[in-house]
Amino acid sequence: MEKVIIIRYCELHLKGKNRGFFERQFAINMERALKGVKHEIRRQSGRYLIESFDEDEVDTIVARLKRVFGIHTLALGYKVESDMDKIYRAAKLVSPESGTFKVETHRANKSFPLNSMQISAEIGGRLLDDNKNLSVDVHNPGHMVYIDVRENGTANVFGSFIKGAGGMPVGSAGKGMLLISGGIDSPVAGHMIAKRGMSIDCVHFHSYPYTNMQAKEKVIDLAKILSQYACGTTMFIIKVTHIQEEIHKKCNGDYMVTLLRRFMMRIAERLALKDNAQCIITGESLGQVASQTIEGMTSSNSVIEKLPVLRPLCGFDKNEIIERSKEIGTYDISIQPYEDCCTVFLPKHPVTKPKMEDVLKEEEKLNVEELIEEAMRTVEVVKI
Q: In the chain, where are the structural domains located?
A: 2-163, 175-383
Give the per-residue pLDDT at 134.
95
Report how far residue 147's alpha carbon sits from residue 95's, in angstroms, rounded to the nearest whole number: 12
CA end-to-end span of the chain, whole Å? 39
Give the per-residue pLDDT at 13.
73
Give the per-residue pLDDT at 15.
79
* Encoded amino acid at 217, one letter: E
Report how far residue 156's alpha carbon sits from residue 159's, in angstroms, rounded to the nearest whole number: 10
Residue 188 class from Cβ within 10 Å (0-12 exposed, 13-18 middle, 19+ buried)?
buried
User: What is the dotted CATH code of the domain comprising 175-383?
Assistant: 3.40.50.620
Phi, psi of 105 (to 5 degrees): -120, 135
Report how far residue 119's alpha carbon sits from residue 274's, in angstroms, rounded to the nearest whole number: 58
Report how far residue 62's alpha carbon sits from residue 266's, in angstroms, rounded to the nearest whole number: 41
**Sign of CA pseudo-dihedral 279, 286, 314, 333:** positive
Give the per-residue pLDDT at 289.
79
Give the per-residue pLDDT at 384.
92
Report how far residue 350's alpha carbon sits from residue 26's, in angstroms, rounded to the nearest whole number: 46
Give the per-residue pLDDT at 340.
62
**What fold, for 2-163?**
VC0802-like (3.30.2130)
Q: Please choose, from the candidates 285, 236, 286, the residue with its C-alpha nearest in 3D space to the C-alpha of residue 264.
A: 236
Report how far residue 56's alpha carbon sits from residue 38's, in angstroms, rounded to the nearest whole number: 11
Low-confidence ranges of the chain (pLDDT < 50): none
Q: What is the pLDDT of residues 158-197, one digit of tens each?
A: 999 999 999 999 999 999 999 999 899 999 999 999 999 9
Phi/psi-derived region of residue 210, left when phi > 0, alpha when psi is between -120 and 50, beta in every other case: alpha
Q: Please choose, from the candidates 180, 197, 174, the residue with its C-alpha nearest in 3D space to the C-alpha of residue 71.
A: 197
Residue 30 class from Cβ within 10 Å (0-12 exposed, 13-18 middle, 19+ buried)?
buried
Give the per-residue pLDDT at 339.
64
Give the per-residue pLDDT at 341.
54
Q: Please choose, from the candidates 149, 29, 138, 162, the residue with its C-alpha nearest in 3D space to the C-alpha of residue 87.
A: 149
Q: Please choose, from the candidates 210, 214, 224, 83, the residue with its C-alpha nearest in 3D space to the C-alpha of residue 157.
A: 83
